[in-house]
Structure 1
């Protein structure tokens, strides 16, 4: 599976692509939209399990087998949180509370629905992976991955939670 291009790679690719011309007698190809690192929706669902690394360097990906179990609902999705229509501040507060409560209840996987935004580049969609990688959630979040199409695809994330600490 291909990984998304890094910003410096996109810049270099733009320079190279500008110098390419079609063969004689052929039409110019339509320009492809480049993948960006800050747009999780452009990341194809990963069966190999490193979608989360592409989403955020600080958060580990969900293990491939576990992601498969979650997407097939063989491992229960213990909770769903829909962030549609919330401001960034409110969404972050709700997300933090939801994850901490879910872990305290013994839930091992949740689905966070961010939506795609108007043109596929929604603010919450870009920001939620960063929030999940925050240091204050490091004891809660085990990994993240883009959701399967039936669970919202590019507009949703699976979040694997760590086991709650023993008292």
Structure 2
């Protein structure tokens, strides 16, 4: 049996402890590992400022100098009239051509001009339902072209808000299922202030 030292460790335990201690790195009083000459400390790499992307995009200029950027074409959204005119034709092409030329006489009409949105919506629904029940095919919805209104607020009010809202109502439930086509009326029937509404046949 190995003889124990005065502190209670045997000679074998002390030899093992000495071998383990020889592999450890001494620490200074601050708690950080002590740096020896064999392992010099590595200096952190300097941080290089990134070039400004704004400066790369913008050329140098002087105060008061006119811009040298070329003004490209601005792609505005098509007008409501243009969107309706280029919408796919869902009805007979011959009838569609006669209708857009004003050669078809509307079988009924409703004048919403001057109404508020809250007044016009139920009136339009009632008119379209009644016309469909009477098996009318072409009806005229008069909206007016609208007036320029400046409320003084930060958001401008669109001219002819009723004119722009009517196509949305006509293509949404409950009216969309009864309507085959919508087009801006011919000048003889109101032009940009009215719509031709071509109804589907009753089943």
TM tier relative to shorter chain: 0.5 to 0.7
Give the drift of 1:159.
0.6
Asked if residue 36 in structure 1 is aligned to residue 87 in structure 2, the reply is: no
- Hey, which bits of structure 1, 4+ residues long, moved more than 3 A? 34-37, 60-64, 71-76
SS, match of residue 136 in structure 1: coil
Mapped partners of 1:66, 1:89: distance in 2: 33
Q: Greater relative contact order: 1 or 2 (C-alpha under 8 angstroms, separation 6 or more)?
A: 1
Mapped partners of 2:143, 2:191: distance in 1: 10
CA separation of 1:105 and 1:78: change in aligned 2, threshold 3 A = same
Structure 2 contact 183–197 (Cα < 8 Å) conserved: yes
| Within-5 A mapping of 1:24-63 | 36-37=77-78, 39-41=79-81, 43=82, 46=85, 50-51=86-87, 62-63=91-92
- The residue that corresponds to 1:9 in the other structure is none
- The residue that corresponds to 1:154 in the other structure is 192
Structure 2 contact 102–188 (Cα < 8 Å) conserved: no
| Within-5 A mapping of 1:137-148 | 137-148=175-186
Structure 1 contact 62–144 (Cα < 8 Å) conserved: no
Mapped partners of 1:20, 1:141: distance in 2: 43
Structure 1 contact 142–162 (Cα < 8 Å) conserved: yes
Pick one of 124, 129, 137 that aligns with 2:167: 129
Structure with the greater alpha carbon radius of gyration: 2
CA RMSD of superposed structures (Å): 2.8
CA separation of 1:45 and 1:128: change in aligned 2, threshold 3 A = closer
- The residue that corresponds to 1:6 in the other structure is none
TM-score normalised by structure 1 residue count: 0.63
Unaligned runs of 5+ in 1: 1-17, 22-30, 54-59
